[in-house]
Structure 1
Amino acid sequence: MHVGEVMTRRIITISPGRKARDALELMSQKMIAHLPVIEKSKLVGIITDRDLRLAVIPQNKSKTGKRISGNPLERRVKDVMTRKVVSVDPGTGVADAVKMMLRLRIGSLPVAVDGKLKGIITKDDLLVVFVEMLRMIQSSSTIDVELADEIDDMDVIQTTLKSHNIKILSCAATPGKKSGSQICHVRLEPCPVKDIVHDLTENGVKVLDAFGEDT
């Protein structure tokens, strides 16, 4: 699954010349915590609820290094926003996006192509994906196998499942730990899997994991 499939496409943005107060009001109205900052159709920064919280803490200098005074919410977005924006493209895997957000401790990732904003993926978007995946897992059986020879192993898998009269709901492959190997994630209609795993193993297919009505 790719970021482009689950990202929020209707993006609310703000320009760098607006005031921090405007960003705060927009976040409050739209109940969001992240605002991409756009200038001349290009992504130039992002302002978050955390940036705004830091903006109202008394400081001697702004992010640009200039001394500040007066109401901090009257400052410009460009002086408060995060300039070094970490973004991803629509083809980035959801798992990679999650790892990136955890590593950087951020709550969102703008999705851009050649600097132009296409969407944004947030913790809420990922939670929806997670809930949907749980629902799919609970309503189906799964078998994960390592493909040593992709064509031959897939033939064995299909033949074995056909002999058990089990329908494949979906099948996806990801790179394995060994060079050139692949892990095939097979989702089946709800069924017992122990006999299927036994038959696959007997026919030389390496089963890594299985979940079914009898496990």
Structure 2
Amino acid sequence: MLVKRYMQTKVVMVGPDERANAALYMMKKKGIRHLLVTDNSKLRGIVTDRDFRLMRPSPATSLSIYEVHYLLDKLKVKEIMTKKVIAVTPETTIAEASRLLLNRRIGALPVLKDEKVVGIITETDMIRALIDLEEAQ
């Protein structure tokens, strides 16, 4: 079983200079938890729902809600994204991709072919692969 069978090919991507609030809105609107950050079709990073949770200020902050929104609106994706991205190819086995997710404690892997983004594979895709394997027996 290979990644190319289970990866999502309709990948949502943003540029590194995109406003963080706009990226978060895009994620909520599309119901996704991972956004690939690209620049001229080259993978630069990944931003996740966890990154957004970590960037939020403490509830104990003395800032007003308006000040918080103002500051968050100035933040760019490149300031919160993970830059050292672990990626796989379409020919990577599901077992190896699963090991990467598990051992690195991450939720998604960009899929690259010739350094170009061709998809993304997530924990949810791995569960689909497991179900298919179980049903095939």
Q: Unpaired segments of 5 or more residues in structure 2?
A: 59-69
Q: Runs of 4 or more off by more than 3 Å in structure 1?
A: none
Greater C-alpha Rg: 1
Once the two structures are TM-superposed, the CA of residue 121 in structure 1 deviates from its matched residue by 0.1
Mapped to 2, the partners of 1:134 and 1:73 lie a distance apart of 46
The normalised TM-score by structure 2 is 0.87
- Map of 1:74-153 to 2, 5 A cutoff? 74-137=74-137
Q: Which has the higher contact order (CA 8 A, sep 6+)?
A: 2
Once the two structures are TM-superposed, the CA of residue 73 in structure 1 deviates from its matched residue by 4.4
Alignment partner, residue 47 of structure 1: 47
Once the two structures are TM-superposed, the CA of residue 72 in structure 1 deviates from its matched residue by 2.7
SS in 2 for 1:71: helix
Q: Is the 8 A contact 1:56 1:73 kept in 2?
A: no
**Residues 145-193 of structure 1: per-residue CA shift (max 9 Å, x gap):** xxxxxxxxxxxxxxxxxxxxxxxxxxxxxxxxxxxxxxxxxxxxxxxxx
Mapped to 2, the partners of 1:112 and 1:134 lie a distance apart of 28
Identity %: 39
Alignment partner, residue 151 of structure 1: none
In terms of fraction of residues, the more strand-rich structure is 1
**Residues 111-152 of structure 1: per-residue CA shift (max 9 Å, x gap):** 012321010000111111111111112xxxxxxxxxxxxxxx
The AA in structure 1 aligned to 2:51 is: D
Mapped to 1, the partners of 2:57 and 2:38 lie a distance apart of 25
- Map of 1:1-215 to 2, 5 A cutoff? 1-57=1-57, 71-137=71-137
**Residues 12-34 of structure 1: per-residue CA shift (max 9 Å, x gap):** 11111111101110110111000
The normalised TM-score by structure 1 is 0.56
Q: Unpaired segments of 5 or more residues in structure 1?
A: 59-69, 138-215
Mapped to 1, the partners of 2:132 and 2:83 lie a distance apart of 34
SS in 2 for 1:92: coil
Alignment partner, residue 190 of structure 1: none
SS in 1 for 2:109: strand
The AA in structure 1 aligned to 2:127 is: L
Mapped to 1, the partners of 2:90 and 2:32 lie a distance apart of 21
